[in-house]
């Protein structure tokens, strides 16, 4: 189950809150016997801060199989007993995350009996209509927030007195990466002031606030953080098997249910692509159709992005033809938008329980996405390669901002 290697730190690279990137020499190789240098990631709160020349123990399972984890080997422990990190300072908190794994971590939960917020959350039971944007991929997060900020700026510009910007909280669920420290997007959005707090729910950990469930994370976002808008999505590195149900993002449907049962306003962000070579992900991904159409039992606002119009293109068999994005970028995006609108009909009345909300996703929103303080990337594609993916997520943010402002 685990492919172990011992290595030696050759170089300390980039750092961001909670994580250190390393170059490590592995004498026994990873996919063969020859020595190799690998990129490795260490979480100092778990394993200390390695220095050049330090021996380290690595988990290289994903690298050996050619899988994800961002291309990293993961530092499991110092390779020398003399380099063990110091014991944590005594303090409150008895929530255990990544439970019963060798790296289980004990944290102070926002809903913990020892938390200063325990009394608040003990009696909290209502989100009071707070919009909760749900997405199945972590890559949607910066785009959703870009849409929130863009719409809020437009709405505030017309106000008699400029209100404070909307406060945004991000809840990271445990379908992907468990440590929030893995996400450079979260670190960058927090540094830029684009999100006010990250809450880690379930087995995920490392956020500004720890929560036992998505439900208590939602309540903490509202009653502790004071968020006006909440975004819920799994951490980086979703798990998929090419099947309808074997995908970690299916939990997006459960997040819709949680937001609704607590009196929030669920806003479903569709996973959209105009560049994915797989038919099941072209237009609206089948994962969105499953999560929102089969798992979400409570009604949500399903945001349908409306891209700039272009003449309809028919393939001669009654189906919409999607032009080549390189040869006809504007026509391509418009055709993707029509495909999305057609597919989304399955989620709204009379076929499904949700409310379909059309939101314009034109050049102004594309410009707003271009101003993101963090890199936009989904499935290896950036804004230029797959604008529909990010525009769809940003449109959900636009609608959430309007709901938060009472528009």
In this predicted model, what pLDDT tens digit does every residue of 167-205 receive, in sequence order? 999 999 999 999 999 999 999 999 999 999 999 999 999
Q: Which residues does 399 contact at the CB level (< 8 Å), separation at least 6?
A: 131, 151, 267, 301, 303, 357, 359
27 torsion bin: left (phi>0), alpha (psi -120 to 50), beta (else):
alpha
Rounded to the nearest integer, the mean pLDDT of the chain is 91
The encoded tokens of residue 402 equal 């309007």
Task: Residues 4-81: name the CATH superfamily.
Answer: EutN/Ccml (2.40.50.220)
What are the extents of the domains in the chain? 4-81, 123-404
Mean pLDDT is lowest, of 22-31, 222-231, 240-249, for: 240-249
Closest by CA position to 166, among listed 76, 229, 75: 229
With a cut of 60, say whether residue 59 has pLDDT above it: yes
N residues, the chain = 407
SS3 357: strand
- Contact present, 365 and 242 (Cβ < 8 Å): no
Cβ–Cβ < 8 Å for 337, 282: no
Q: Per-residue confidence at 323, pLDDT binned at 50, 70, 90?
A: low
Residues 6+ apart with CB under 8 A from 380: none
Residue-wise over 179-213: b if at least 16 C-beta within 10 A, else e? bbbbbbbbbbbbeeebbbbbbbbbebbbbbbbbbe
pTM: 0.92
- Angle among Cα 164, 170, 174 to the nearest 5 degrees reads 175
Q: Tens of pLDDT along 195-209?
A: 999 999 999 999 999
Assign 396 a pLDDT band (cuts: 50, 70, 90).
Answer: very high
pLDDT tens digits, 148-167: 999 999 999 867 777 899 99
Going by pLDDT thresholds of 50, 70 and 90, the confidence category of residue 325 is low
pLDDT average, residue stretch 118-126: 95
> What span, in angstroms and rounded, lies between the C-alpha atoms of 280 and 276?
9
Q: Please name which of 101, 47, 42, 103 lies closest in space to residue 73, comparing C-alpha atoms.
A: 42
């Amino acid at each position: 189950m685990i492919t172990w290697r011992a290595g030696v730190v050759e170089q300390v690279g980039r750092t961001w809150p909670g994580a250190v990137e390393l170059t490590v020499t592995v004498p026994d190789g990873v996919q063969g016997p020859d020595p190799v240098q690998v990129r490795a990631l260490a979480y100092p709160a778990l394993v200390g801060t390695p220095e050049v020349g330090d021996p380290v123990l690595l988990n290289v399972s994903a690298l050996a199989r050619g899988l994800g984890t961002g291309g990293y080997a993961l530092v499991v422990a110092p390779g020398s007993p003399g380099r063990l990190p110091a014991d944590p300072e005594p303090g409150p908190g008895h929530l255990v995350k990544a439970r019963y794994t060798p790296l289980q971590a004990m944290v102070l939960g926002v809903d913990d009996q020892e938390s200063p917020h325990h009394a608040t959350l003990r009696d909290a039971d209502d989100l009071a209509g707070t919009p909760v944007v749900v997405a199945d991929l972590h890559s949607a997060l910066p785009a959703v927030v870009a849409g929130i900020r863009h719409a809020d700026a437009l709405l505030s510009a017309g106000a008699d007195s400029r209100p404070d910007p909307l406060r945004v909280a991000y809840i990271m669920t445990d379908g992907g990466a468990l440590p929030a420290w893995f996400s450079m997007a979260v670190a960058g959005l927090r540094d830029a002031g684009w999100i006010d707090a990250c809450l880690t729910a379930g087995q995920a950990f490392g956020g500004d606030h720890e929560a036992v469930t998505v439900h208590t994370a939602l309540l903490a976002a509202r009653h502790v953080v004071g968020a006006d808008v909440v975004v819920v999505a799994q951490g980086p590195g979703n798990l998929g098997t090419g099947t309808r149900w074997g995908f970690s993002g299916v939990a997006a449907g459960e997040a819709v249910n949680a937001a609704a049962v607590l009196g929030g306003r669920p806003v479903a962000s569709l996973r959209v692509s105009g560049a994915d070579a797989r038919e099941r992900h072209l237009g609206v991904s089948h994962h969105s159709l499953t999560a929102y159409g089969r798992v979400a039992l409570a009604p949500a606002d399903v945001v349908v992005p409306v891209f700039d119009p272009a003449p309809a293109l028919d393939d001669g068999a009654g189906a919409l033809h999607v032009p080549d994005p390189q040869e006809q970028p504007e026509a391509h995006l418009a055709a993707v938008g029509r495909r999305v609108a057609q597919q989304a009909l399955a989620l709204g009345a009379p076929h499904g329980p949700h409310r379909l909300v059309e939101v314009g996703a034109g050049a102004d929103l594309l410009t707003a996405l271009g101003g993101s303080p963090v890199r936009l990337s989904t499935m290896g594609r950036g804004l230029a390669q797959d604008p529909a993916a990010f525009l769809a997520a940003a449109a959900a943010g636009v609608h959430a901002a309007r709901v938060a402002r009472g528009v």
